Amino acid sequence: MPDRFALLTDLAAVFAPLSLTAFGGGMAVISEIRNQTVDMHAWVTPAQFLALFAIARGAPGPGSMMLATMIGWQVMGPWGAVVATLAMFLPSTAFSIGVAVAWKRYRDRLFVRRLERALLPIGAGLLLAGLVSLIRLTSVSWVLLAIALVSSAVCILRPSIHPMGVIGAGALINLAAMLLA
């Protein structure tokens, strides 16, 4: 029984700090979730991580929270899922409420405007680190890299196009490339 408690504590200890560093959204911490769960704790293999990530991104709701839930389930079943989900959700929620209250009170101050501008590139950098981390887990071919770059460009340049259409088109192109190879 102590081992189960220790494992649940480890899940909370991994996901709670990540919750507080998810500036720019959950994708910002994907690299560190992978580092912690694959490399440091070996709770999941790289292939399992990619599969869980894909499922989490396809599920409704915040992807990083869904990923934490599924990793928790993989590690300790339902209790692991509950602990990982709460650890990924509660700290950032409490922090966000506190920041929202302070932001409303001090939003006209110069330091708040400067802080806002300073956080934008940090969030973008964390997102990029997450993407690079995912790419490193795959066996990237030129076709997959081209699909990823074109898909990203379409989503950036044509935000009115639904992401599921872009994902579907990319999947079909990859399937065609695999069949032709």
Ramachandran area for residue 93 (φ above 0: left; ψ -120 to 50: alpha; else beta): alpha
Whether 33 and 68 have beta carbons less than 8 Å apart is answered as yes
- Rounded CA-CA distance 55/30 in Å is 14
CB within 8 A of 55, min separation 6: which ones?
A: 66, 70
Classified as helix, coil or strand, 25 is: coil
Question: Can you give the pLDDT at residue 94?
Answer: 93
Give which of 127, 107, 169 is closest to 21, Cα–Cα.
Answer: 127
Question: Can you give the pLDDT at residue 24?
Answer: 60
Averages of pLDDT over runs of 10 residues in the chain (181 residues) are 84 93 73 92 93 84 82 95 94 90 89 85 77 73 82 88 88 88 76
pTM of the model: 0.64
Q: Which helix or strand (DSSP H or E) is residue 96 part of?
A: helix 63-106
- The sign of the dihedral angle between the CA atoms of 35, 36, 38, 42 is positive
Question: Can you give the pLDDT at residue 23?
Answer: 63
Question: Can you give the pLDDT at residue 2?
Answer: 53
